[in-house]
Amino acid sequence: MDKPWRMKALAKLVGFLALALGAIGAVFLAGMRSKSPAVLDGVRRVSRATKGYVLPTAGTPGNAYAIVRHVGRTSGREYETPMQPVATDDGFAVALPYGPNTDWLKNVLAAGKATIVYDGKTVDVDHPEVVPMADANRLFPPNQQRMHNLFRVEDCLLLRTAAVA
């Protein structure tokens, strides 16, 4: 007898959750597009918190995530940061959805080099250069180009494969 009441309550709960998720998605999209510091900081915190789940498989064959190994510009410590590069003819391109103000990027730019673990291979890279995404978007597959446009990604990091001595 009270089963219809429970079904109605469940339907309302599901509707509320769908509405809440939609609102969160809209705030996320608007915040990423406008480069809102609060949204960017929140996304960075989530990325840091989930880094431990991504790193164990990053850089393995077939995985979209790679690892950039870099040295802290002030601490001298070695760090590993997951990222999603795209292989290019002479190295890699990395979209910078948070902009150029991230610690890992500052470390790579300061050192002028890094190591990428990508698709099961370890590759030394150098000559890091931040370029406008408008100049580099063609290096990415169409689905990623659409995401860059949707989130208004303005910057891209180009890394060249280091010459073997």
Q: Which residue, 154, 70, 69, is CA-closest to 118?
A: 69
Query: Model confidence over 31-85: pLDDT tens digits?
Result: 777 788 887 888 788 888 888 888 999 999 999 999 999 999 999 999 999 999 9
Give the confidence band of 144 by pLDDT, cuts at 50, 70, 90: very high
The mean pLDDT of 148-161, rounded to a whole number, is: 95
**Least confident among 10-14, 135-139, 142-146:** 10-14
The CATH number assigned to the domain with range 57-161 reads: 2.30.110.10
Question: CA dist 66 to 15, 70, 81, 84, 94, Å?
Answer: 38, 13, 8, 6, 10
Identify which has the larger pLDDT, 41 or 158.
Answer: 158
Q: Say what the pLDDT of residue 74 is.
A: 92
Burial of 47 (0-12, 13-18, 19+ CB in 10 A): middle
**Residue 68, SS3?**
strand
Query: Model confidence over 85-122: pLDDT tens digits?
Result: 999 999 999 999 988 888 999 999 999 999 999 999 99
